[in-house]
Structure 1
Amino acid sequence: MCYFDHQLWRCGYWRWGNFREQCPKEYRTGETCGLKLIYNTYLEPGVCKTCETVSKKQRRMSKMMEDVDRWTCEGNRRATIEKTQQEIGVLQVQIGELCRDHEVRKNACSY
């Protein structure tokens, strides 16, 4: 039962922070017993790194979709449209994985 800081973002994502206090069960200096307890929770005002990454990928995907629509109206850019649509598919998969990982971490018990 060693104590650690706990960081919590607005979106619900959390992570363990720095080691703060050693419990009486562990007698070796610098070692922890393996059981983590919260010493102090720090509320972070912004969004987590995962949310920032998802937001960037969504903006990029939105721009690509606008480009595809524009190129479709212009015509004679079939290869560019196909390549961009493949990249959009890859981005959708990446966004899905990031959102799934974010939800798993958000719903995991931190204490």
Structure 2
Amino acid sequence: MCYFEQTRWSCGYWKWGNFRQQCNKEYRTGETCGLKLVYDTSYQPSQCKICEQMSKKTRRVRKMSDDISRWQREGNRRATIEKTQKDIQEIQSQINELWRGHEDKIRSV
């Protein structure tokens, strides 16, 4: 039950910060008992790094989709379209993985 700072972003994501105060269960100097309690929470109005990464990847997927639409109208770009569609699927799976990690962290509070 040692006390730590906590940072929380507007999206609900959080992380532990620095050690602030030792509880009375741990008598060794510089050691913690292993249980973490919040000493103080610092609220950040911005998005967390994971949300920023998801935003970047979503914008990239949107751009690639627009490119595919343009290439289909122009014609004669079949291989490029197929490669870009595979890239979109790969990026979409990365976005899904980031989202799962983000949601797991939010629920773990």
Identity rate, percent: 61
SS of 1:15 mapped into structure 2 = strand
SS of 1:34 mapped into structure 2 = coil
Distance (whole Å) between structure 2 residues aligned to residue 29 and residue 83 of structure 1:
58
Query: TM-score, structure 1 length as denominator?
Result: 0.95
Query: TM-score, structure 2 length as denominator?
Result: 0.97
Q: Is 1:30 equivalent to 2:30 in the alignment?
A: yes
**Could you say which residue in structure 2 is the equivalent of 1:79?**
79
Structure 1 residues without counterparts, runs of 5 or longer = none
Distance (whole Å) between structure 1 residues aligned to residue 16 and residue 89 of structure 2:
34
Distance (whole Å) between structure 1 residues aligned to residue 34 and residue 57 of structure 2:
36
**Could you say which residue in structure 1 is the equivalent of 2:63?**
63
User: Given residue 94 of structure 2, which amino acid in structure 1 is its aligned partner?
Assistant: Q
User: Given residue 39 of structure 1, which amino acid in structure 2 is its aligned partner?
Assistant: Y
**Could you say which residue in structure 1 is the equivalent of 2:15?**
15
By how many angstroms is 1:101 displaced?
Answer: 1.1
* Poorly superposed stretches of 4+, deviation over 2 Å: none
**Count of matched residue pairs:** 109
User: Given residue 4 of structure 1, which amino acid in structure 2 is its aligned partner?
Assistant: F
- Indicate the larger mover: 31-40 or 21-30: 21-30
Distance (whole Å) between structure 2 residues aligned to residue 29 and residue 74 of structure 1:
71
- Indicate the larger mover: 22-31 or 39-48: 22-31
* RMSD (Å) for aligned C-alpha atoms: 0.7
- Indicate the larger mover: 19-28 or 61-70: 19-28
Distance (whole Å) between structure 2 residues aligned to residue 40 and residue 52 of structure 1:
25
By how many angstroms is 1:41 displaced?
Answer: 0.6
Distance (whole Å) between structure 2 residues aligned to residue 33 and residue 77 of structure 1:
62
SS of 1:82 mapped into structure 2 = helix
